[in-house]
Amino acid sequence: MSVEVAHEAHGHPLKHHHFEDLEQQNESYVVGMWTFLVTEIMFFGALFLAYTIYRHENPAVFIDAGHRYLNVWLGGTNTVVLLTSSFFMAVGVYHAQKGNRQYQLVFLGLTLLCAFGFLVIKGFEWSAEFRENHLPGPYFQYESKGEVIPVQKAQLFFCLYFAMTGLHAFHVIIGILVIGTLWLMVLRRHPSVQYYMPVEMAGLYWHFVDIVWIFLFPLFYLIPIKG
């Protein structure tokens, strides 16, 4: 009875002392995460703007280099992998809200497997580009399969490709670290993950990573044969 009285006096047992109530604490989590994601959107937005301007000015480069050299099957497979991981993450958040520890471990673990699978597939794709000397730099080589494309313009296309997909892969790695840490905390019954919001915020971040790829895939891989 004394414990219940203490909880009534101090609020919800999972509420931190510097918040008035649990609702305010939840709102602070959400606002903080969305503030962070807005900065990420602005960061990616600059690259998408550069992509838009360069593609408008050099459509032939994107048609020749993008459509004929990038592996649409690997890119499509990675899209399915990430969409599947997003589903697993959503189910993991649901079980976090319900307090189902075992199911949290299962679905967070499946999300991690998909994330690692994405990086492995991307590694195969990048290695093929490395072998063909498509990595921008002094050893860059390019042989046009359609109309003649200046090497400098083709190199700029691959600069955008590696910069944008590389930045996305970096965010995938961050997601692996965050979700992996949460998985260990759930496994060890850490007090911080008795509250579902940390898992939900990780899920929000992971959905953002998935959405970015949903834009990258058609922009780079599904370029029409004719402009």
pLDDT tens figures, 149-192: 778 888 888 999 999 999 999 999 999 999 999 999 999 988 87
pLDDT per position as a tens digit, 79-130 = 999 999 999 999 999 999 898 999 999 999 999 999 999 999 999 999 998 9
Query: In the chain, what are the domains?
Result: 33-221 (1.20.120.80)
What is residue 23's predicted lDDT score, i.e. its pLDDT?
A: 63
pTM confidence score:
0.85
C-alpha 80/C-alpha 4 separation (Å) is 48
pLDDT digits 0-9 by tens, 63-75: 777 667 889 999 9
pLDDT the model gives residue 146: 61
Confidence of residue 145 (pLDDT cuts 50, 70, 90): low
What is the pLDDT, as a whole number, of residue 9? 40
pLDDT band at 224 (very low <50, low <70, confident <90, very high): low
- CA–CA separation, 185 and 99 (whole Å): 14
pLDDT at 8: 39
Token readout for 70 is 């990038």
d(CA 97, CA 83): 21
CA distance 171 to 216: 14
- Predicted pLDDT at 154: 84
